[in-house]
Amino acid sequence: MDFKEKVAESYKLIQDEICRGLEEADGSAKFQEELWDREGGGGGRTRIIQDGSVLERGGVNFSAVHGTLPEPIKKSFGVQDDQFFATGVSIVIHPKSPWVPIIHMNIRYFELNEQTRWFGGGIDLTPHYINTADAQFFHRSLKDVCDRFSADFYPEFKTWADNYFFIKHRNETRGIGGVFYDRLNPAKTSLDYEDFFSFSEELGRSFVPIYRELIERNKNRPFGEKEKQWQLMRRGRYVEFNLVYDAGTKFGLETNGRIESILMSLPPYANWTYNYKAEPGSDEEKTLRFLKKGVDWISL
């Protein structure tokens, strides 16, 4: 088994583990699986959970695809080779309760040849209402994973997430960020590809314990129509980012990916309110004040 096959097999196992963990956390809903083949090479396993006790809709997708790299992507990567391989696990979860946050994770590996290959990914959290204790727990958990590999990872990847998950036309972050990295390779570090592979595995396996804790903390909190409408509006912001800025969405569309799998990140319902103004001193206003880059969540 060569390296890329080893990565793909490990990511399949991580998909299985995350699906089991989310089913246990929800307590009622089960994932439905659809196997698919990509025209041009490869395929994947799309798994969707919906209408659960906790999870309104979520997707945990695995793919391993290969083929000819489209010319625009080839040009953006600055490469000559055009035969690519890409594998990864991608997750987006939209909960029922406005007190439980939206969460996204992606771990991936891309290869053109022995010299041109890298890891990418990350985890970020989008609370409808920002709870500083939850934010601190989330970021400390990610820092613990990062610190096991390099003291530089968390500060670098946290800043990267702040800059990446930013809705420019709104001048606000999508949520509280997390960690994000791309094109991770040994060129500027003492770590090697095996180290980066292990890091991506540990980050992937941190997903379930982190999110289960956030679910348990918040799933039984009561809410009313006001909180639900706010949740739908925050989902609208999530949609805007994914359709306008998200690189994974663009890559999937430009490489002839499976549309249903690519757009599984979108919520079942979302709202757009014209010229919304939060009531001064409200929980909604407090959340909006936190939607900016550079917040030191661990020290709050």
pLDDT tens per residue, range 118-129: 999 999 999 999
Q: Encoding tokens for residue 240?
A: 């805007």
Choose between 259 and 61: higher pLDDT: 61
pLDDT > 90? residue 255: no
pLDDT, mean over the chain: 94
d(CA 228, CA 95): 11
DSSP 143-195: HHHHHTT-TTHHHHHHHHHHHHSEETTTTEESSSEEEEEEEE-GGGSS--HHH
The first and second tokens of residue 232, run together, are: 């739908």
Q: Confidence class of residue 258 from pLDDT cuts 50, 70 and 90?
A: confident
The model's pLDDT over 151-194, given as tens digits with 9 standing for 90+, comes to 999 999 999 999 999 999 999 999 999 999 999 989 878 899 99
Classify burial at 228, counting beta carbons within 10 Å of its beta carbon; exposed 0-12, middle 13-18, buried 19 or more.
Answer: middle
Catalytically annotated residues: 104
State which residues form the domain around 286: 3-299
Dist CA 199 CA 145 (whole Å): 8
Give mean pLDDT, residues 208-232: 97
Tokens 């900016």 -> residue: 292
Tell me, what CATH number does 271's domain have? 3.40.1500.10
What global pTM score does this model have? 0.94
- Pairwise CA distance, residues 162 & 159, whole Å: 5
Beta bridge partners of 106: 90, 122
Domain total of the chain: 1
Provide the CA 115 distance to its chain's centre, in angstroms.
27
